[in-house]
Amino acid sequence: MRDYEVQPQHVTPEVQAWVRAQAALGHTAPTILKALRKAGWLADVAREVLAATLQTPSGVPVPRPAIGAALRLDAGDRQVDVLMQMSQPHIVVFGNLLSDEECDALMQAARPRLSRSLTVAVKTGGEELNDDRTSRGMFFTRGENELVNRIEARIARLLDWPLENGEGLQVLQYLPGAEYKPHHDYFDPAEPGTASILARGGQRVGTLILYLGEPEAGGATVFPDIGLEVMPQRGHAVFFSYDQPHASTLTLHGGAPVLAGEKWVATKWLREREFT
């Protein structure tokens, strides 16, 4: 059998011109990415093509932990493992960010305050029920108690992002069948309610999902545009950032349906400025 040399793939002006033409025709970034993959482009190169072509540098700083080649990061009161990272989109999977005792304490404190989860009402800037999101949840105010304050300080140190730029910690419970269909966490500038949302601290620029309770099956955090699934292991977390409110950031994500047991997570959204 003859061995064939794999030819390197590079971002060229020709493929960038093709990407721009597809975008001009109204095709979305995920659709263009799928077309590139179908044409034989490697996943990481296809993502690089989109990033280099569609993303306009925003100049907006985003949380980006200084990992380098480190296996662990100092989060102040705890050493946190770095289990996986990728650059485009910027995603990091952390291990042992929370202890078992902290996971239990957050769930116990949250349970009496749970109600059907809401989503941001982009038309008005308020909140609304959404069939795409079937979890139950609640919000802690920032620094509400010693436990929340300790975890928020750890997150701020780990992600190198000001504590005051974080929204309140949200705890969610997913029972069997519950899910959150793929969505973006940034606020769409084209929606009429966005201006009032941004007045409280600017755009969201990063998301940290902490896993508090493992389901028996299902419940992965999925990134459909890049074919990534992060399994909900207790005490671990997945982080991703996005420097502009655009699908080309490839941060479309969702919570796959829980097939058995319960999944508990805590979500921390990070803003450009102080969140009030």
**Cβ within 8 Å of residue 25, ≥6 positions away:** none
Note whether 121 and 181 are same-domain residues: yes
> SS3 string of 202-227?
CCEEEEEEEEEECCCEECCEEECCCC
**Average pLDDT taken over every residue of the chain:** 90
The lowest-confidence range among 63-67, 132-136, 249-253 is 132-136
Instruction: Locate 138 and state its tokens.
Output: 């609640």
Domain of residue 29 covers 13-54
The predicted pLDDT at position 28 comes to: 78
Please state the pTM of the whole predicted model. Answer: 0.84
Note whether 77 and 131 are same-domain residues: yes
Residue 133 gets which letter from DSSP? B
Note whether 50 and 98 are same-domain residues: no
Note whether 91 and 125 are same-domain residues: yes
Instruction: Locate 129 and state its tokens.
Output: 């029920």
C-alpha–C-alpha distance, residues 214 and 232, integer Å: 6
| Average pLDDT of span 80-86 | 96
pLDDT digits (tens, 9 = 90+) for 149-194: 999 999 999 999 999 999 999 999 999 999 999 999 999 998 999 9
CB 230 within 8 A of CB 251: no
Is 3 part of a structural domain of the chain? no
Note whether 49 and 172 are same-domain residues: no
Is 88 part of a structural domain of the chain? yes
Q: How many domains, in total, are found in the chain?
A: 2
Note whether 128 and 202 are same-domain residues: yes
Is 63 part of a structural domain of the chain? no
Is a pLDDT exceeding 80 seen at residue 202? yes
Is a pLDDT exceeding 80 seen at residue 4? no
Is 61 part of a structural domain of the chain? no
C-alpha–C-alpha distance, residues 114 and 111, integer Å: 5
pLDDT digits (tens, 9 = 90+) for 15-47: 888 988 888 787 877 788 889 888 888 887 888
User: What is the CATH classification number for the domain harbouring 184?
Assistant: 2.60.120.620
Note whether 148 and 177 are same-domain residues: yes
Cα-based angle 108, 111, 112 (whole degrees, multiple of 5): 115
C-alpha–C-alpha distance, residues 228 and 203, integer Å: 25
Is 185 part of a structural domain of the chain? yes
CB 30 within 8 A of CB 43: no
Instruction: Locate 246 and state its tokens.
Output: 């655009």
Note whether 46 and 81 are same-domain residues: no
CB 273 within 8 A of CB 62: no
Is a pLDDT exceeding 80 seen at residue 124? no
Q: Give 121's pLDDT tier (boundaries 50, 70, 90).
A: low
Note whether 155 and 47 are same-domain residues: no
Is a pLDDT exceeding 80 seen at residue 3? no
Cβ of 31: how many Cβ atoms within 10 Å?
A: 14
C-alpha–C-alpha distance, residues 127 and 237, integer Å: 26
The predicted pLDDT at position 16 comes to: 85
Note whether 78 and 48 are same-domain residues: no
Note whether 48 and 87 are same-domain residues: no
Is 65 part of a structural domain of the chain? no
The predicted pLDDT at position 25 comes to: 82
CB 252 within 8 A of CB 183: yes
Strands (E), the chain: 72-74, 79-86, 91-95, 115-116, 119-120, 127-128, 136-139, 170-174, 180-183, 204-213, 217-218, 221-223, 228-230, 237-241, 253-255, 258-260, 263-271
Is a pLDDT exceeding 90 seen at residue 95? yes
CB 110 within 8 A of CB 244: no
Is 80 part of a structural domain of the chain? yes
Distances (CA, A) of 276 to 108, 113, 121, 201, 272: 26, 22, 18, 7, 12
Is 19 part of a structural domain of the chain? yes
Note whether 33 and 143 are same-domain residues: no
| Average pLDDT of span 216-231 | 96
